[in-house]
C-alpha cells in the first residue's frame, strides 16, 4: 500500500471517529446487545443436543461442569427426559432473552446511527459555510449537494446495517468455533477449510467493487449538478428554447451513469454467484462428513444436528461477507468524498481580530491580485475613499471592478506582497472577518433571493425588524409601492432565486435588504442596472437623504448613476485609467467623456466600449 493510501486511510478513520462522538455509548450498547443475541443463538442448539443425546438417548454427558451442576439442580438428565417441558421452557427463555437483545439492539443501533448522521450533517454544513469563497467557485453545487446527501445516506446505511453487524458476526464466528471444536475438532477443521478461499475471494473483489462505486458516485454528482443547474436556470433554458438540447444532454449523462451501474451489477453478480457456490460446497462438506461421522459412531445424533445448526449460523455471516464487502466499499468511497470536503482549509481568522470604527477612510495601497491560474486582474491599484463620501467606478468586463469589492470583503485574501487595504487605519487582514462583513453591505448585479416571503428576504440580516422598519427601507429602495400592490403584500412568497419578481424588483429587494443591515459601508455592484433612470435617481437621492454618513461605492456602466459621486475611477485591464469628479473627467476628454457622449446621445458605438 502506498504512503498516500495509508495517509488517506488514517484520515478517513480519524474522520469517522470524529463523527462517532456523541453516539459511541449507543453503539457500544448495540454491540453488547448483539453479543447477547449471538450467545442466545449458540445456547438453543446446545439445549436441543442435550435433550436428544443425554435426556432421551442416555449418552454420557460431556458438557462443561457449570452446565452439569445446573442440570443436577434441575433433577438430572433422566428427570429432564421425563419432563421435557423443562427443556422446552429453557428454549423459550433463551428465545425471550434473544428477543430482548434484538429489541435493545434495534433501538440503540437506530439511535446511534441517527445521532451519527446528525453530527455528520452539522459538521459538514458548518465546515462548508466556513470554506473560502474561492473553494465554492471551484466546486460544483450539485456535486457538493450529492456528497452532503447521497454519500451521508450511504454511510448511514453502512452504520445501521453493517457496522454493528460486524461485531455480531465476529462473536458468532468465535462462539461457533468454540462450540464446534468441543464437539468434533476434525469436522470443525473440514468446515473451516473452504473459508480462507471464500474470504480471499471477497478481498480480491473489494478493490474492484470500490472502484466501481467511486465511478458511480462521481457520475451521480455530475448528474445532480446538471439537474441543479437546469432547475435554477430554467428561465434561461426556456428563453433560448434549449429544452430539447438540455434533455438530450441529460439523457446522455444518465445513460452513461446507468451503464456504470449495470457494469458494477455484473461484477457484483459474479461475486455473489461464486460466493454462493463456495458457501454451498462448504455446507455440503459439513453435511456429508457429519453424516459419515455419525454413522461410524464418532459423532452423536444430537451433536450432528447441533453441529449443522452451528454451521448454518457460521455460513450466514460468511454469505453476508459479500454484502458487507460491497457496503464497505460504498461507505469507503463516501467517506473519501466527504473527507475531501472536510480537509479543505477554512477561511483563516484574522490574526489580531480587530474591530475598528468602520466609518473611517478606506485605502487601497498598491493592491495587485490574480485569481488562481488566471492572468493579473489588478495591478498596483492605489486610491482613498474618505469616510462618508461616494466613490463611483466605471469599467468594462474584466477590468477588475468586482474584484476590488471581493478583496474589500475578504472573499479572496490578499497575500503578502499584494498590497494592503485599510479601513480606519486598520489592515483588513487584522480585522475580524465576521465583523468586517457585517459592516459592509453589498448588492450584486445578480441579486440572490431566498425562497421565502419578501419580508423575510429583506429582514434576513435583522430578523427582529418590525413591518414598519421593513417598509421604511423598502421606500428608500423604491420597492414599497410595488409590494403593496401584491395581494399578500410583504407576505408574498418569492419563488426560488426570486423567480416570481421582475429583474428590477429583485434588485430593489436586494437593496432594501442591504439597507436593513445599516452598514457604514455600502457597495452597489452594478445593482441599479435593471431599474429605469428615474428610479435610479430616486434611489440615490433617498440613499443620500437617509444614509448620508455611510461610505458608498457605486459600480455602474451608467454615467448618470456615477455623476453625483465625490470621486470616480475609470478602470481598464486592472489599472486606474482616469480619476476625478464628473466635471473633471468631462473636461479631460478621455474615455469617460466619450462614454458620456455616447450614452447621452444614444449613439451606436460598440467599438467605443471600455
DSSP letter for each residue of 112-130: HHHHHHHHHHHHHHHHHHT
Residue 355: C-alpha distances to residues 231, 388, 424 (Å): 41, 19, 10
Give tens-digit pLDDT for 481-536: 888 888 888 888 876 555 567 777 888 888 888 888 888 888 888 776 656 677 77
Q: Given this model, what pLDDT does residue 606 score?
A: 38
d(CA 313, CA 169): 9
Which three cell numbers mark 187?
469436522
What order of strands is seen across the sheet that includes strand 362-370? 376-385, 362-370, 420-423, 426-427
Q: Identify which of 90-94, 158-162, 180-184, 296-300 has the greatest average pLDDT.
A: 90-94
How many CB atoms are located within 10 Å of the residue 30 CB? 28
Q: How confident is the model at residue 335 (pLDDT cuts 50, 70, 90)?
A: confident
Radius of gyration of the chain (CA): 36
Q: Given this model, what pLDDT does residue 547 score?
A: 63
d(CA 476, CA 538): 8
Q: Given this model, what pLDDT does residue 319 score?
A: 64
Which three cell numbers mark 566?
465625490
Polymer length of the chain: 610
Q: How confident is the model at residue 548 (pLDDT cuts 50, 70, 90)?
A: low
Q: Given this model, what pLDDT does residue 532 score?
A: 65
Residue 81: C-alpha distances to residues 87, 124, 146, 219 (Å): 9, 62, 63, 65
Phi (first) and psi of residue 580, to 5 degrees: 150, -175
Report helix, strand or coil for 287: helix
d(CA 367, CA 569): 15
Task: Find out whether 198 and 282 touch, Cβ atoms under 8 Å.
Answer: yes
Q: Does the pLDDT at position 275 exceed 60?
A: yes
Residue 292: C-alpha distances to residues 285, 295, 297, 308 (Å): 11, 5, 9, 13
Q: How confident is the model at residue 227 (pLDDT cuts 50, 70, 90)?
A: confident
d(CA 22, CA 26): 8
Q: How confident is the model at residue 322 (pLDDT cuts 50, 70, 90)?
A: low
Query: Which of 404-408, 587-591, 605-609 comes out lowest in average pLDDT?
Result: 605-609
Q: Given this model, what pLDDT does residue 552 score?
A: 87
| Dihedral angle sign, alpha carbons of residues 435, 437, 440, 441 | negative
Q: CA torsion, points 159, 164, 167, 172, in degrees to nearest 10?
A: -120
Which three cell numbers mark 214?
467511486
Q: Give the contacts of 12 (CB within 8 A, at least 6 positions apart).
A: 332, 335, 336, 339
Give tens-digit pLDDT for 115-163: 888 888 888 888 888 888 878 877 777 778 878 887 888 888 787 777 7
What are the start-end ranges of the H helices in 133-242? 133-138, 141-146, 152-158, 164-183, 185-192, 195-232, 234-239
Closest CA to 159 of 22, 27, 5, 297: 27
Task: Find out whether 141 and 225 touch, Cβ atoms under 8 Å.
Answer: yes
Q: Where are the domains of the chain?
A: 3-342
Element (H, E) at 380: strand 376-385
Beta bridge partners of 431: 354
d(CA 217, CA 227): 15
Q: Given this model, what pLDDT does residue 608 score?
A: 40
Q: Out of 2.40.50.140, 3.30.750.24, 1.20.1560.10, 3.40.50.2000, select the CATH number for domain 3-342.
A: 1.20.1560.10
Give tens-digit pLDDT for 343-387: 888 777 766 778 888 888 899 999 898 887 778 888 888 989 998
What average pLDDT does this structure show over 209-216? 73
Q: Does the pLDDT at position 329 exceed 80?
A: no
Q: Given this model, what pLDDT does residue 546 score?
A: 64
- Give me the chain's average pLDDT, please: 79
Give tens-digit pLDDT for 518-532: 888 888 887 766 566
Q: Given this model, what pLDDT does residue 303 score?
A: 77
Which three cell numbers mark 508?
430593489
- Say if strands 390-395 and 551-555 run parallel, antiparallel, or are unpaired: parallel
d(CA 521, CA 35): 64
Closest CA to 166 of 27, 333, 26, 330: 27
Query: Which of 61-70, 280-289, 363-372 comes out lowest in average pLDDT?
Result: 61-70
How many CB atoms are located within 10 Å of the residue 24 CB? 13
Amino acid at each position: 500500500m502506498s504512503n498516500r493510501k495509508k495517509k488517506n486511510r488514517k484520515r478517513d478513520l480519524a474522520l469517522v471517529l470524529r463523527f462517532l462522538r456523541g453516539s459511541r455509548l449507543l453503539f457500544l450498547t448495540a454491540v453488547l446487545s448483539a453479543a447477547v443475541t449471538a450467545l442466545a443463538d449458540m445456547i438453543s442448539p446446545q439445549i436441543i443436543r442435550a435433550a436428544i443425546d443425554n435426556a432421551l438417548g442416555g449418552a454420557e454427558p460431556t458438557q462443561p461442569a457449570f452446565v452439569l451442576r445446573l442440570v443436577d439442580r434441575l433433577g438430572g438428565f433422566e428427570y429432564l427426559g421425563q419432563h421435557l417441558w423443562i427443556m422446552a421452557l429453557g428454549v423459550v427463555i433463551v428465545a425471550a432473552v434473544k428477543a430482548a437483545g434484538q429489541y435493545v439492539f434495534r433501538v440503540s443501533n437506530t439511535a446511534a446511527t441517527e445521532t451519527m448522521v446528525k453530527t455528520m450533517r452539522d459538521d459538514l454544513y458548518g465546515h462548508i459555510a466556513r470554506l473560502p469563497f474561492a473553494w465554492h467557485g471551484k466546486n460544483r453545487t450539485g456535486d457538493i449537494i450529492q456528497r452532503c446527501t447521497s454519500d451521508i445516506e450511504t454511510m448511514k446505511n453502512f452504520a445501521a446495517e453493517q457496522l454493528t453487524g460486524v461485531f455480531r458476526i465476529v462473536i458468532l464466528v468465535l462462539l461457533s468455533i468454540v462450540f464446534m471444536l468441543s464437539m468434533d475438532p476434525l469436522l470443525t477443521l473440514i468446515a473451516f477449510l473452504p473459508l480462507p478461499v471464500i474470504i480471499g475471494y471477497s478481498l480480491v473483489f473489494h478493490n474492484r467493487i470500490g472502484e466501481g462505486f467511486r465511478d458511480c458516485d462521481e457520475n451521480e454528482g455530475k448528474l445532480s449538478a446538471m439537474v441543479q443547474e437546469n432547475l435554477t436556470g430554467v428561465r434561461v433554458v426556456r428563453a433560448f428554447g434549449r429544452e430539447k438540447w438540455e434533455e438530450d444532454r441529460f439523457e446522455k449523462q444518465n445513460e452513461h451513469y446507468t451503464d456504470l451501474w449495470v457494469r458494477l451489477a455484473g461484477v457484483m453478480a459474479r461475486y455473489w454467484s461464486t460466493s454462493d457456490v463456495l458457501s454451498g460446497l462448504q455446507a455440503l462438506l459439513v453435511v456429508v462428513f457429519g453424516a459419515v461421522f455419525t454413522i461410524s459412531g464418532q459423532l452423536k445424533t444430537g451433536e450432528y444436528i447441533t453441529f449443522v445448526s452451528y454451521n448454518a449460523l457460521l455460513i450466514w455471516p460468511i454469505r453476508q461477507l459479500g454484502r458487507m464487502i460491497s457496503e464497505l466499499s460504498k461507505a469507503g468511497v463516501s467517506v473519501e468524498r466527504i473527507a475531501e470536503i472536510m480537509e479543505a482549509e477554512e477561511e483563516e481568522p484574522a490574526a489580531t481580530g480587530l474591530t475598528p470604527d468602520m466609518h473611517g477612510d478606506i485605502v487601497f495601497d498598491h493592491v495587485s491580485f490574480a485569481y488562481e491560474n488566471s492572468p493579473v486582474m489588478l495591478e498596483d491599484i492605489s486610491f482613498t475613499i474618505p469616510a462618508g463620501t461616494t466613490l463611483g467606478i466605471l469599467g468594462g468586463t474584466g477590468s477588475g471592478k468586482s474584484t476590488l469589492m471581493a478583496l474589500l470583503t475578504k472573499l479572496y485574501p490578499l497575500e503578502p506582497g499584494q498590497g494592503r487595504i485599510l479601513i480606519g487605519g486598520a489592515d483588513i487582514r487584522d480585522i475580524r472577518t465576521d465583523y468586517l462583513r457585517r459592516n459592509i453591505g453589498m448588492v450584486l448585479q445578480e441579486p440572490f433571493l431566498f425562497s421565502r416571503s419578501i419580508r423575510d428576504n429583506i429582514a434576513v440580516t435583522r430578523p427582529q425588524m418590525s413591518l414598519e422598519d421593513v417598509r421604511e427601507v423598502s421606500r428608500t429602495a423604491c420597492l414599497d409601492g410595488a409590494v403593496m400592490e401584491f395581494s399578500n403584500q410583504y407576505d408574498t412568497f418569492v419563488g426560488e432565486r426570486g423567480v416570481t419578481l421582475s429583474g428590477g424588483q429583485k434588485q430593489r429587494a436586494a437593496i432594501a435588504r442591504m439597507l436593513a443591515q445599516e452598514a457604514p459601508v455600502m457597495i452597489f455592484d452594478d445593482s441599479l442596472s435593471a431599474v429605469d433612470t428615474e428610479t435610479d435617481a430616486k434611489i440615490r437621492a433617498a440613499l443620500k437623504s437617509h444614509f448620508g454618513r455611510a461610505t458608498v461605492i457605486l459600480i455602474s456602466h451608467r454615467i448618470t448613476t456615477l455623476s453625483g459621486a465625490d470621486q470616480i475611477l475609470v478602470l481598464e485591464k486592472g489599472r486606474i485609467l482616469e480619476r476625478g469628479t464628473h466635471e473633471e473627467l468631462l473636461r479631460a476628454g478621455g474615455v469617460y467623456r466619450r462614454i458620456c457622449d455616447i450614452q447621452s446621445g444614444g449613439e451606436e458605438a460598440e467599438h467605443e466600449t471600455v
